[in-house]
Amino acid sequence: MPRLHSKLTGLPVVNDRAAAIDIGSRFHVVAVPPDLCEQPVQTFQTFTSDLQRMGDWLVSLGIRTVAMESTGVYWIPAYEILEGRGLEVIVANARESRAVPGRKSDVNDAQWLQRLHACGLLRPSFRPSGDIAAARQSR
C-alpha cells in the first residue's frame, strides 16, 4: 500500500508576525517565523548598539509583536528599545513556557517561545504603564 504524505498540522497561527527572545545576561537569542528570512534565529549581545540593531532587524522583517521571558532584570533594556520601535512586547512567565521537549538550548527555547507566541498561547505578565512606574519611582 502506498504511503500517504500529509501536511503536518498543528495549532493555528494567530500572530503571523510574532518573534520571541530567549533573554540572557550576555546575549539574547531571537527567533522569528522561519519563512521570513534565511536565518530565522539570530544572536545579539546585550550592549545598547546590539539591542538597537536587534530592534531594527525585527522591524525590517515586519515583526509586530515580541515575547520574552522575565529573566532577572536583563529583559528591561530589550523591552524598552523594542517598545520604542513601536513593537508590542510581552513579558511571559517562564513557568508557562518551559515544556520544551528534547535537549534544552537557547535556540530551542527561542524557537519554542516564538511558536507559542505565534499561536497566541502566552499570557503577558502585568507591566505597569509609564505613569504608574514613574509615580512609584518618585516616592
Structural domains in the chain (count) = 1
Q: What percentage of residues in the chain have a pLDDT greater than 90?
A: 65
C-beta neighbour count of 103 within 10 angstroms: 6
The pLDDT tens digits for 103-122 are: 578 999 999 999 999 999 99
Residue 9 domain flag: no
Residue 24 domain flag: yes
Alpha-carbon gap, residue 37 to 47, rounded angstroms:
24
Residue 118 domain flag: yes
Residue 6 domain flag: no
Extract long-range pairs of 125-129: CB within 8 Å, 24+ residues apart.
Answer: 125/70, 125/90, 125/91, 125/92, 125/93, 127/91
pTM, 2 dp? 0.82
Q: Where in the sequence is the domain holding 105, given as residue range(s)? A: 18-137
Top-confidence residue, 66 or 106: 66
Q: Which of 110, 58, 46, 54 has the alpha carbon at shortest distance from 88? A: 58
62-72 average pLDDT score: 91
Residue 129 domain flag: yes
Q: Does 17 score more than 60 pLDDT?
A: yes
CATH code, domain carrying 96: 3.30.420.110
